[in-house]
Amino acid sequence: MQAWILPYPSPIGQRPLRRVELPEPVPGPSEVLVRVSACGICRTDLHVVEGELAVRRPNIVPGHQVVGTVTALGSGDTAGLQTGQRVGVAWLHHTCGRCRFCWQGRENLCEAAEFTGWTVPGGYAGALIADAKFVYPIPEGYTDTLAAPLLCAGIIGYRCLRLCGLEGRWKGARLGIYGFGAAGHIAIQIARSRGAEVYVCTRDHEHHQALAEELGAAWVGGAAAEPPHKLDAALMFAPAGELVPPALAALDRGGVLVLGGIHMSPIPTLNYDWLYGERVVRSVANNTRADGREFLQEAAAAGVHTRVREFGFDEANQALLTLKQDGIAGAGVLRAPGA
């Protein structure tokens, strides 16, 4: 099968991904083989390719927002999946089920977790292996391409919303979003469907700011701009540590700033005044399967729609370069080989 591998991390401008022919994988116990239809392009892929995330597996196949069809079942418990079924494969590939975090219902913090496209081969390929218990049914009404960004950008944005402290008081709440790419353009739709006003801070008027306005932001400004009102909570999807101080300064008392990325540039020294008043800064790490299932249900019910730019399978390096250059409004998606 055709696949893109990463022989060694390098700046994406050097086009480090290499297209190769690999043997088609065979599912083991409790695994399924998924024929890839589309794979979303995520900033985490860029962190893997450029080495901002440590190498965990040589010659890794990136990609963890996969939509495809089950074409083979391994032995044992395959969670009731059937061949021909359309499924989604996300970042969290497998957890141990035995560590204290798994026992506490916090499998996103599992000490032995495996991750699609980082520690196990991902979706920049014709097919991949998935743990049957960690795949998701795709809601009706989404094409494969439009569904792909839901599998990470959507799920992680949803977990950020879950942890931002607005449960039970969404109506009329003021939510900030810093960085308006794939995750931001989905999170705003969920937040607005719950009744929140959304204030977006992001660069690049041509792409991201215009899309935020189109999706109903109450206000849109530059990446470090001061919103016109104090915020009850804020989500930060931009991997830019220098934006943490202005985001904290924009929070009202008791507000929560949720950092949604897996990697971020250094955060400058913080003034205690920005934290005083019971303001909170917290990170999001991965997701639980419950996050994924609940998000996909709510997204379908709320009519969430993704804005997608498609790339041919032979454009994997160019797609990631375009992402790094902020050249994608919404989400990028890599089509399957031959599509």
- Chain CA centroid to CA 175, Å: 19
Distance CA 116, CA 66 (A): 10
61 Cβ partners below 8 Å, 6+ apart? 3, 4, 5, 6, 22, 117, 121, 122, 123, 124, 125, 128
Q: Select the more confidently predicted residue: 338 or 136.
A: 136
Give the mean model confidence (pLDDT) for residues 252-262: 97
Task: Report the predicted TM-score, pTM, of the whole model to 2 decimal places.
Answer: 0.96
Going by C-alpha positions, the residue among 201, 195, 255, 260 that lies closest to residue 227 is: 201
Give the mean model confidence (pLDDT) for residues 3-26: 98
Question: Are 267 and 243 a contacting pair, CB within 8 Å?
Answer: no
- Please write the tens of the pLDDT for every residue from 136-150: 999 999 999 999 999
Distance CA 246, CA 151 (A): 30
Residue 54: CB atoms within 10 Å = 8
Strand pairing report for 127-131 and 135-137: unpaired
pLDDT at 339 over 80: no
Give the mean model confidence (pLDDT) for residues 241-258: 97
DSSP assignments along 245-269, one per residue: HHHHHHEEEEEEEEE--S--PPPPP
Question: Are 175 and 235 a contacting pair, CB within 8 Å?
Answer: yes
- pLDDT range class, residue 338, cuts 50, 70, 90: confident
Residue 60: predicted pLDDT: 98
- Please write the tens of the pLDDT for every residue from 74-117: 999 999 999 999 999 999 999 999 999 999 999 999 999 999 99
Give the mean model confidence (pLDDT) for residues 278-291: 96
- Please write the tens of the pLDDT for every residue from 61-78: 999 999 999 999 999 999
Distance CA 194, CA 298 (A): 10
Residue 264: predicted pLDDT: 94
What are the beta bridge partners of residue 221?
201
Strands (E), the chain: 2-5, 18-21, 31-41, 66-73, 86-89, 92-94, 114-115, 127-131, 135-137, 174-178, 197-201, 219-221, 231-236, 251-259, 280-283, 308-311, 331-335
- Residue type at position 65: Q
- Please write the tens of the pLDDT for every residue from 156-213: 999 999 999 999 999 999 999 999 999 999 999 999 999 999 999 998 877 899 999 9
- Chain CA centroid to CA 199, Å: 20
Going by C-alpha positions, the residue among 163, 204, 166 that lies closest to residue 185 is: 204
Q: Mean pLDDT, the chain, as a whole number?
A: 97
- Sorted by where each begins, the domain ranges of the chain are 2-152+306-335, 164-283
Residue 207: predicted pLDDT: 85
Residue 113: predicted pLDDT: 98
- Fold adopted by 164-283: Rossmann fold (3.40.50)
Would you give the DSSP letter of residue 36? E
Distance CA 38, CA 58 (A): 23
CATH number, domain 2-152+306-335, options 3.40.50.720, 2.60.40.420, 3.90.180.10, 3.40.50.970: 3.90.180.10
